[in-house]
Amino acid sequence: MRPRVRRAHPARADPGPRAGRPRPEARPVPRAPRHRLPRRCPRLPAAADGQAVHHGGLTLTSTAALPDVEAHGLRAACAGRVLACSGDGGPCAALTGPARDADLFRCEAGITGHRESERVHLAPQDAGDTVRRAGTRELPVTHVGPTPTPEAATARAAAAFGGPAAAAREGRTYAV
């Protein structure tokens, strides 16, 4: 019969730098509150061109950006302030509608130029032209990179716009 060798548990083998210090008190991890939907939760229909949804003082209006691709612009209006954004649409007159007199128009501007047969996404100069025609006050560009870079796209959009343009960044907030 072989003798049994008792080994220390790996967690207790080396006490490390905290040896001799009291353990911090265990705190319960807060749980996020659970929100329950009512049994008969209203379903919003798929976005349609010109469709408006009202909720309190907020009005959301959808605009089809291209006839052959499911891409929409969205306009959110509340208390006289307007936030608008483009979807993955191409340069077209329909995008001017959501951006008309908006305080801010968040617009994708992620391609350097258009191929002859494709006009699905916006180039930075397209975004700048759209907001200039619409009378928008501020333009954050998004869906940018690696070419053009956010800095190059912002500069090209601002040149076409003639107003303030900035690269939209994750976590950044805008006052509208």
Distance in angstroms between the alpha carbons of the first and the last residue of the chain: 81
Helix, strand, coil fractions of the chain, as percent rounded to 5 = 20, 20, 60
pTM of this structure: 0.68
Span 56-77, pLDDT tens digits: 899 999 888 765 567 788 899 9
**Residue among 68, 57, 60, 66 at smallest CA distance from 85:** 60
Q: Report d(CA 134, CA 16) in Å as an integer.
A: 64
**Phi and psi dihedrals of 119, rounded to 5?**
-140, 55
Span 119-152, pLDDT tens digits: 678 889 999 999 999 999 999 999 887 788 889 9
List strands edge to edge, sheet with 81-85.
Answer: 52-55, 58-64, 72-78, 81-85, 104-108, 139-142, 165-167
| pLDDT for position 41 | 44
**Residue among 120, 107, 111, 118 at smallest CA distance from 74:** 107
- The contacts found for 13-17 with CB under 8 angstroms, 24 or more apart, are none
Span 154-171, pLDDT tens digits: 999 999 999 889 999 888
In the predicted structure, residue 84 carries a pLDDT above the cut 90: yes
Q: Identity (one letter) of the amino acid at 174?
A: Y
> Measured over all CA atoms, what is the biggest interatomic distance in the chain, rounded to whole angstroms?
92
| pLDDT for position 6 | 56
Do residues 122 and 148 make contact, with C-beta atoms less than 8 angstroms apart? no
